[in-house]
Structure 1
């Protein structure tokens, strides 16, 4: 005759199983896309009162630097710590701030020479969307973003050439910049 398990053993087992499933789903959800808040337009009011807004009007994105070339390209301003994605008509379609490494590329014209989906960066951080475009003082210079979306840790005297992006900007640049895409580096 088979021995029966006491009720407390069943409850403990089921609770542990349910907890494991919730943890697994939470980890899976953490690696998924992040929702973004929709921007709602102000509704017109039937009220005769005037509503003043305390929020300042959004400022225009920084203009594409002069002398950055023509046509479809990626523009990286070392001084502004900013990247622009420029379409074939010369219009900037997206711009975003970046965290430069300790070694900066010299101003000039380059192109994406190698793309790597993911690897461990020279700073020890797991990175993705790695797009190499030059080498300066023996250090490879590339755009990338941390897998966990974090900013780079302090360099501690290391020579680092990674131009780190926010996770969503890294994905956008990866989709935009194939091997051979031109990169213009300006001051």
Structure 2
């Protein structure tokens, strides 16, 4: 009987080790606050789908070097020629959005006043919708306010550091892919 108990304890210990080794690093390092409960293994037992990485480049965005703008996620990826995201960041969308599809950077401006009156920098324009030019930019004051839906503006705002990265990455003619 003691041998069976020892074998059972060894099997449980091995299974516990396997379970802890398969936890993604970003989840394993998160501290738990008192009163929170870890997700139940039985809650997802019937649906064994691999977890989607929310920061992964959208599969529907094509291939090659490109800027990817996901409308629903309010996120941009700067993707190299090997389809690897060099950088990803959130943005504040404009009140006018382009349809999903492929575009090219048509013009750039180092520093101008936005259509909302805010001084902006690193403007990278790529589309026109309803006579409104749409492009990425960063406000000099660092703000990323929500666009006023009553005004037709095309400025997709980002943080200044992200604007610097966009400016360096997306020159005239660079591919911009908009996904839903």
TM-score by length of 1: 0.67
Residue in 2 aligned with 1:171?
Answer: 164
> CA–CA distance in 2 between the matches of 1:177 and 1:127?
17
Residue in 2 aligned with 1:117?
Answer: 110
Q: Is the Cα contact below 8 Å between 2:69 and 2:75 reproduced in 1?
A: yes
1:55 aligns with 2:18: no
Deviation at 1:142, TM superposition (A): 0.5
Check 1:69–1:101 CA distance in 2 against 1; reply closer, same or farther (3 A cut). same
Q: What is the 5 A alignment of 1:153-172?
A: 155=148, 157-172=150-165
Deviation at 1:152, TM superposition (A): 2.7
Q: What is the 5 A alignment of 1:77-88?
A: 77-88=70-81
Q: What is the 5 A alignment of 1:92-111?
A: 92-111=85-104
Of residues 165, 179, 184, the one that matches 2:177 is 184
Deviation at 1:156, TM superposition (A): 6.0
Deviation at 1:55, TM superposition (A): 2.9
Partner of 1:67, secondary structure, is helix
TM-score by length of 2: 0.70
Q: CA RMSD in A?
A: 2.0
Deviation at 1:54, TM superposition (A): 6.1
Unmatched 5+ stretches in structure 2: 1-28, 33-52
Of residues 134, 146, 152, the one that matches 2:139 is 146
1:129 aligns with 2:118: no
Unmatched 5+ stretches in structure 1: 1-52
Residue in 1 aligned with 2:26?
Answer: none
**Structure with greater Cα Rg:** 1
Pairs aligned (count):
134
> CA–CA distance in 2 between the matches of 1:153 and 1:107?
21
Residue in 2 aligned with 1:64?
Answer: 57
Q: Which has the higher helix share?
A: 2
Q: Is the Cα contact below 8 Å between 1:61 and 1:95 reproduced in 2?
A: no
Check 1:146–1:130 CA distance in 2 against 1; reply closer, same or farther (3 A cut). same
> CA–CA distance in 2 between the matches of 1:156 and 1:87?
34
Deviating above 6 A after TM superposition, structure 1's stretches of 4 or more consecutive aligned residues are none
> CA–CA distance in 1 between the matches of 2:62 and 2:80?
12
